[in-house]
């Protein structure tokens, strides 16, 4: 077993474990700007956790193609969400 598998699995478990309660709590916020900021940040956490999960699965020989998928699709999606969060925060949050 590879250390990168263990580290990515641990990272995925921690980040996904935090993202689900954060999304639930964000959906309960009544003020729209704060709710949107929280949902954007929670969505980034969810996508970033999925990135680590896919990277962990890519360490297996039969699923090695997932490494390219995670680098080409999942990681840019996470960065895009973080960028949208930054733009929304600069316009509405601060």
Tell me the two tokens of residue 46. 């969810």
- pLDDT single digits (tens) 39-82: 999 999 999 999 999 999 988 888 888 888 888 999 999 999 99
To 10 degrees, the CA torsion angle through 75, 77, 78, 82?
A: 140
Is the entire prediction scored with pTM above 0.85? yes
CA-angle at 25, arms to 23 and 27, nearest 5° = 70
The kind and range of the H/E element at 44 are helix 32-57
Above 90 in pLDDT, residue 20? Answer: yes
Angle between helical axes of 32-57 and 3-27 (0-180°, round to 10): 160
Q: Phi and psi (nearest 5°) for 31?
A: -80, 120
- Which pLDDT belongs to residue 82? 95
């Amino acid at each position: 077993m590879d250390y990168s598998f263990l580290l990515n699995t641990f990272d995925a478990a921690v980040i996904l474990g935090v993202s689900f309660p954060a999304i639930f709590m964000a959906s309960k916020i009544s003020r729209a700007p704060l709710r949107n900021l929280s949902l954007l940040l929670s969505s980034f956490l969810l996508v970033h956790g999925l990135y680590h999960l896919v990277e962990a699965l890519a360490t297996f020989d039969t699923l090695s193609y997932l490494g390219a998928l995670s680098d080409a699709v999942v990681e840019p999606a996470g960065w895009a969400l973080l960028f949208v969060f930054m733009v929304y925060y600069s316009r509405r949050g601060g």
